[in-house]
Amino acid sequence: MRPPERRPGTLVLADGEVFEGEVAGAPPPGGVTAGEVVFNTVMCGYQEVITDPSYAGQIITFTYPHIGNYGTCDADFESRRPFCRGIIVRDLVSAPSSWRAGAGLEEFLARRGLSCLTGVDTRRLTRHIRSQGAMVGAFGTAAEADLRAAAAAEPGTDGVDLVASVTCERPYLRATVRAGGRAPWRVTVVDFGVKTSILARLARIAHVEVVPAGWGAAAILARRPHGVLLSNGPGDPAAVRGAGEVIEGLLGEVPVFGICLGHQLLGAALGAETYKLPFGHHGGNHPVRHVATGAVEITSQNHNFCVADGGGAGTEVTHLNLNDGTVEGLRSLEVPAFGVQHHPEAGPGPRDSDYLFAAFDSWLAELHGAEADGAPFETAAASDAPPGAER
């Protein structure tokens, strides 16, 4: 498929700031693509970023100047399709070079209905977002007045339940890949927008069943999991309908591990407040200190909201962000539950925090011991499906 010819385009932010470039990829519907504009600092892994469901409702600005150098590959999807609204880059590479490439990024975008604004001064845009905070905007080939109106009408991510647009429609199983052929645990993943790299990493230690975010605690516990993972996902944790009731029904009944949005939702269930960061954390180089050991981990992050504190007396902060002191991890002192704000599965990013999956494995062994029977989930309530196929 040959990408459409590039046309002059414009980005208009909600505060009136204007950036010029060219529109590539898929033509914007009606000449307009609108969403919350954020920036990501990764130097590679752009396909994983674009296909991460946590970007639902957002337009991603890449700070690295050349995006698309190595094309795209089917193995690098984090979900069945992109959920972001579009991307903004300095230079969209038209001639990728990699033996893994199945298609160029521009062709990838065109096939999946995503627009890109290229040729933008992304350094200026990033500095503006850092000083003014993440804000909604609109880009495309439409007249500037129309883009300005679209930006004014865009609701952004505050108070919007974006999880409803990314969660799976029905349960499915993830094949177990543990060495030796035996995975002693059954782990249920509550899909708030789960990445396939989380499922792949979890499948090394467990039989994995993914269930929709709307499943109740009783339905999850009826499947007799040894543990539950609350996945990453997009948007405002306070807007995710029913999540609090589900998590409260699980706490004390089964061990719970939360990642990113799952960590925020767990924190809220444990009594902590959540709030929106000025421009979020999006990148693969955020330093995090493990409080217990003092060790510093370089982490992959993608979130706009955060846990304000460690909750009440029954919780303990386990990790802190060294850039701004925000909470990166917490655990309950009363029930088996812990969560981290960063992404231990990386995808893309450093693997300094990969030990958290091994810690979850050891934790389940400590709590369940001989109860582990190695049996997978029964298939009656789930469809066997490739990762992300039900999202």
Q: Cite the active site residues.
A: 260, 343, 345
Cα 126 from Cα 196, distance rounded (Å): 29
- DSSP conformation letters of 148-166: HHHHHH---STT---GGGT
Nearest Cα neighbor of 285 from 269, 272, 270, 301 is 301
Cα–Cα distance list, 172 to 175, 199, 311, 313, 357 (Å): 10, 11, 33, 37, 21
Which amino acid makes up residue 335? V
β-pairing verdict for 327-332 and 337-340: antiparallel
Phi, psi of 102 (to 5 degrees): -95, -25
Nearest Cα neighbor of 154 from 139, 165, 138, 166 is 138
Cβ count near 94 (within 10 Å): 14
Widest CA span in the chain: 67
How is the chain split among helix, strand and coil, in percent rounded to 5?
25, 30, 45
Cβ count near 117 (within 10 Å): 29
Give CA angle at 168 (153, 328), nearest 5°.
Answer: 75
Cα 196 from Cα 383, distance rounded (Å): 16
What is the signed CA dihedral for 355, 251, 166, 214, rounded to 10 degrees? 160
- DSSP conformation letters of 212-250: ETT--HHHHHHT--SEEEEPP--S-GGGSTTHHHHHHHH
Cα 57 from Cα 234, distance rounded (Å): 8
Instruction: Quote the distance between the C-alpha of residue 155 and its chain's center.
Output: 20
